[in-house]
Amino acid sequence: MCLFAPYSNQYCNGLVNNIRIFYPPLPLQRGEFIYHLLLPTPAPPKREFIYNLPFTIKKVYYNNILQTIGNTPLVKLNNITKDIPATILAKVEFFNPGNSIKDRMALKMLEVAEQEGRIKPGGTIIECTSGNTGMGLALAAIIKGYKCVFTTTDKQSKEKMDILRAVGAEVHICPTNVEPDDPRSYYSVARRLAAEIPNSLHLNQYDNLANRQAHYETTGPEIWQQTEGKITHLVVATGTGGTITGTAMYLKEKNPNIKVWAIDVFGSLLKKYHETGELDMSQVHAYVTEGIGEDFVPENYDFSLIDKFEQVTDKDGAVMARRIAKEEGIFVGYSAGTALQGIMQLKDELKEGDVVVVVFHDHGSRYIGKIYNDDWMREKGST
Ligand SMILES: Cc1ncc(COP(=O)(O)O)c(C=O)c1O
């Protein structure tokens, strides 16, 4: 009798086998449906919350937590950006079950490894992670029956380590300020563990192209649908390059005129590499912003898709994250502040009619002891 277009397409597929799926132009809230009664006479679509629907839905649950990944909301920023003539929309990724965008690529990397027979039942997943990829992998491992061993650096928030252990992962903390090929680095320790632990697989989010593929298949199409194809700029704070490359690849296929801006942190070599092709290690110095910037170039990058790199200081990113929490009511992580600060630095390049989508990668609760702690901010000279 009907078709539904619920908030999530996984949800929708579960609900309505063999019925046409209708993606409405309107942004829906969770639990809200557009339904369309096809019989007895065609009628215009109606919009209603699940508890008010005039019919019963057979199945109103997801089969497991992994099915809730993706289909995150796009939210207009109204206050911080009020002097920018463009519309600024945040893709709020902490709505994912692991509270970050990295759930998307964690699941994809694991699914591809399974399809290729690179991991066997009961095996161990090994990964270097600043925390968010680890969380996504840990959730997927629980559902799929794997163990997780993660390496991370001593600059990451304690909250992130505690969270990983809370979901059953073993975490090895390695020094930050060593070269990537130093045996103590978190990359080298992950490689060593993968060699030592039987039936284990080092997923390697930096060079594993399933990372960017996840964003090509999900983040890009969602943004295209949610803006009804009106997006003019994509802005992403960037680390492995998976989010920016995969999302940009999809969006530029749809409209090659979309501008893609990467936001980097001072202390990373990515901006200079993009501009000159030179791996200039003199650019590299310690910074405290988490999840972004690199001291090498991961294979997930396709720099030809990136139109511009902008660098932001640790302090400006942190102050902006705190403003987003207080002025927009969106409790975001550090790199969201960096990304929005990048837009503020480039705001003179935006004009009326532009539709800018900025990715907010994760949730502020991971940074309570850092950017949301006044003592920490004072200690870092960021107040
Ligand atoms: C908080 C945060 N922001 C930004 C990024 C960068 O995303 P990507 O690695 O896809 O470039 C990450 C990656 O781990 C992250 O955890």
Q: Which of 102, 259, 272, 370 is catalytic?
A: 102
Alpha carbons 175 and 34: distance in angstroms, whole number? 51
CB 136 within 8 Å of CB 109: no
Residue 310's region, left for phi above 0, alpha for psi from -120 to 50, else beta, is beta
Beta carbons within 8 Å of 188's beta carbon, 6+ residues apart = 180, 181, 182
Q: What is the pLDDT of residue 58?
A: 53
- What residues flank ligand 1, with Cβ below 6 Å? 100, 102, 130, 132-133, 237-244, 290-292, 333, 335, 361-362
Using the mean position of ligand 1's atoms as its centre, give its distance from the Cα of residue 161 in Å: 16
Task: Give the nearest ligand 1 atom to 133 CA.
Answer: 14
Model confidence pTM above 0.75: yes
Report, as an integer, the average pLDDT of 221-236: 95
Using the mean position of ligand 1's atoms as its centre, give its distance from the Cα of residue 240 in Å: 7
Q: What is the pLDDT confidence band of residue 11, given thresholds at 50, 70 and 90?
A: very low
Report, as an integer, the average pLDDT of 88-113: 97
Domain 74-99+212-379 shares a fold with domain 102-202: yes
Using the mean position of ligand 1's atoms as its centre, give its distance from the Cα of residue 163 in Å: 17
Residues 216-225 have pLDDT tens digits of: 999 999 999 8
Q: Which of 268, 289, 361 to mutate to test the pocket of ligand 1 (most atoms within 8 A of CB)?
A: 361
102 is catalytic: yes
Q: What is the pLDDT of residue 15?
A: 40
Indicate the CATH number of 74-99+212-379 among 3.40.50.1100, 3.90.1150.10, 3.30.200.100, 3.50.50.60. Answer: 3.40.50.1100
Higher pLDDT, 47 or 75: 75
Q: What is the pLDDT of residue 267?
A: 96
CB 148 within 8 Å of CB 170: yes
In the CATH hierarchy, which top-level class contains the domain 102-202?
alpha beta
Least confident of 136-140, 158-162, 259-263, 302-306: 158-162
Least confident of 61-65, 180-184, 329-333: 61-65
Residues 272-287 have pLDDT tens digits of: 999 999 999 999 998 9
Q: What is the pLDDT of residue 337?
A: 98
Q: What is the pLDDT confidence band of residue 155, given thresholds at 50, 70 and 90?
A: confident
Q: What is the pLDDT confidence band of residue 38, given thresholds at 50, 70 and 90?
A: low
Report, as an integer, the average pLDDT of 84-113: 97
How high does pLDDT run on average in the chain? 88
Least confident of 156-160, 197-201, 209-213, 361-365: 156-160
Alpha carbons 196 and 202: distance in angstroms, whole number? 11
Q: What is the pLDDT of residue 47?
A: 72
Report, as an integer, the average pLDDT of 331-337: 98
Residues 101-146 have pLDDT tens digits of: 999 999 999 999 999 999 999 999 999 987 899 999 999 999 999 9
Smallest CA separation from ligand 1 atom 16, residue: 291
Task: Give the nearest ligand 1 atom to 366 CA.
Answer: 1
Q: What is the pLDDT of residue 259?
A: 98
Residues 299-315 have pLDDT tens digits of: 999 999 999 999 999 99
pLDDT at 255 over 60: yes
| Distance between start and end Cα atoms, the chain | 59
Using the mean position of ligand 1's atoms as its centre, give its distance from the Cα of residue 247 in Å: 13
Q: State what percent of residues in the chain have pLDDT above 90.
A: 75
Alpha carbons 71 and 27: distance in angstroms, whole number? 11
Q: Which of 150, 218, 271, 335 to mutate to test the pocket of ligand 1 (most atoms within 8 A of CB)?
A: 335
Higher pLDDT, 29 or 209: 209
Using the mean position of ligand 1's atoms as its centre, give its distance from the Cα of residue 334 in Å: 10
pLDDT at 60 over 80: no
Q: What is the pLDDT of residue 320?
A: 98
Instruction: Spell out the domain ranges in the chain.
Output: 2-61, 74-99+212-379, 102-202
